[in-house]
Amino acid sequence: MMSTFTPKGLKWTYDDYAQLPDDGRRHEIIDGEHFVNPSPSTLHQHVSKRLQYQLYTKIELAGLGVLFNAPMDVQLSEHDIVQPDLVIILNESVRKITPTKIKVAPHLVVEILSPSNMDYDRTTKRDLYERFRVKEYWVVDPFEQQVDQWVLRDEKYVLMPRSKVLTLSIADRIEVDLDTVW
């Protein structure tokens, strides 16, 4: 179950976040509020691994950019630090990757749902990624075996039609076959 630990009236910063112990849980800060999630399930990790494999071979091995998997800090602002399941940064922005974190809005963020975080990923994080102009955002539902693909158009997310093959908006001719994910 996701929980939050933010004293009323205070906003967490990256410095506060960096002081948290490594306790095996996922800590994130959104608009200065601290959120905590338990470790992901085995189903979550299987789906993550299969998506990561396809994206790695089609993006990173093709020389288009880099792929990171959680845990990896993505600092969108002083009060917004997240650890998406998968992150793609295309070559044009790789200089914003530091030894400890990513300091640029990713080109693609993938969040895989767990029972404890469904509304958090579908609403809170979607709104955050839209606000920071993440070009593409996938919400992966391993239980229903479907992906909501959100693409940034005119600074607003547009939900693409569901399909068994996802065509990335961030790179030409890159497709992900969901039949191999489930």
22-34 confidence digits (pLDDT tens): 887 889 999 999 9
Both tokens of 41, joined, read: 């399930």
Lowest pLDDT segment from 16-20, 43-47, 58-62, 75-79: 16-20
pLDDT greater than 50 at residue 115? yes
Share of the chain above pLDDT 90, in %: 81
Nearest of 38, 138, 148, 16 to residue 84 by alpha carbon = 138
The length of the chain in residues reads 182
**H or E element that contains 17:** helix 14-18
For residue 29, list its beta bridge partners: 34, 81
pLDDT greater than 70 at residue 39? yes
pLDDT greater than 90 at residue 5? no
Q: How far apart are CA 47 and CA 143, in angstroms?
A: 10
Domains and CATH numbers, the chain: 41-180 (3.90.1570.10)
Q: How many angstroms separate the Cα of 21 from the Cα of each of 17, 25, 27, 83, 158?
A: 9, 10, 10, 15, 37
Q: How far apart are CA 180 and CA 106, in angstroms?
A: 25
Q: How far apart are CA 102 and CA 120, in angstroms?
A: 21
Q: Where are the beta strands (DSSP E) in 44-135?
A: 65-69, 74-77, 80-82, 86-90, 108-112
* CA-based R_g, the chain, Å: 16
Q: Could you report the per-residue pLDDT of 62-82, keeping only the tens digit for each?
A: 999 999 998 899 999 999 999
Q: Where are the beta strands (DSSP E) in 124-168?
A: 136-141, 146-153, 156-159, 165-167
